[in-house]
Each structure stands twice: as C-alpha cells, then as structure tokens.
Homo-oligomer: A and B are copies of this chain.
Amino acid sequence: MKSSLDEDDRIWRALGDPVRRKMLDVLADGPQTTGAMVGRFEPLCRTAVMKHLDVLVRARLVMVKREGRVRWNHFNPVPIDRICGRWLDAHRRRRSAALNRLKRVVEAPVVGETEIAKEKVKQ
C-alpha cells in the first residue's frame, strides 16, 4: 500500500527537523494556539512556525481544531508510536545478530570513515 508508505515518509521527514520535534514536545504538554506557538519559538517568524505546523499536520502528528478566529493545535501521539514500534519490531530479531557481528568488528580498530564523515563529526 503506497499511501501508507508515503504516510510513514511524511512522519519520518517531519521528525527530521529539531524545531518540529521541539514543537511536538511543547504540544505534548497540551494544545496550543498558533499564536502561542509563535511566541514560544522566537526568534522564528510566524510564517516559519506555521510552515512547520503544516508539515506536522500533513504527517498527522498534529490535529487542528478551529474555534472562531483561533486555531488550536493538538499533538497526536499515535503515528510516533506506530513508527517507533514498527521499526523496533522489525529490528528486534536481527538486533542480537547485528550486535554480535558488531562486537566482533569493534574489537579490531574501526576506522575508515570518509574524510567528510570525520570532519563533520568533529564539528
């Protein structure tokens, strides 16, 4: 089912940005109006905050309820649970084998990351 994969993709990509993860942390403590979110995420401008919220809405990580001219943003924990659960389940069986292989490898010095990788890790 392609739409489901796209849905997962939207969720992962939404979680890829630290600002959006912080937004979910805030919303997890309780729903917030868009204006309140703007206030919490200075110095970002309102449009930037709304774009991030839109990405979260597209991923169904945030549900919107309008009340007059105010918009309430609600955190929806279901997609995260699904994603994390699916990933952990998928790797649970392979995890021990992978760890054993890794242990054997790590005993020998693990080097050979590309220069790009070394450099960026330093920063």
Measuring CB to CB, which residues of chain A are less than 8 angstroms from any residue of chain B?
A: 5, 9, 12-13, 15-16, 18, 21, 25, 28-31, 50-51, 54, 57-58, 63-66, 71-72, 74-78, 80-81, 84, 87-88, 90-91, 94-95, 98-99, 101-102, 105-106, 108, 110-114, 116-117, 120-121
Contact = CB atoms under 8 A, between A and B. Distances in A.
A37 to B, nearest CB: 14
Nearest to A71: B112
Contacts of A5: 18
A88 B81 contact: yes
A55 to B, nearest CB: 8
A77 B99 contact: yes
Contact of A120 (B58, B76, B88, B106): B58
Given A54-B117, A64-B112, 6 more contacts: A12-B18, A15-B15, A31-B101, A65-B105, A65-B110, A72-B105
30 contacts: A5-B18, A9-B18, A12-B15, A25-B90, A29-B94, A30-B101, A31-B101, A54-B113, A54-B114, A57-B114, A58-B120, A63-B102, A63-B106, A63-B110, A64-B111, A64-B112, A64-B113, A65-B110, A66-B112, A72-B105, A74-B101, A74-B102, A75-B98, A77-B94, A77-B95, A77-B98, A80-B91, A81-B91, A81-B95, A84-B84
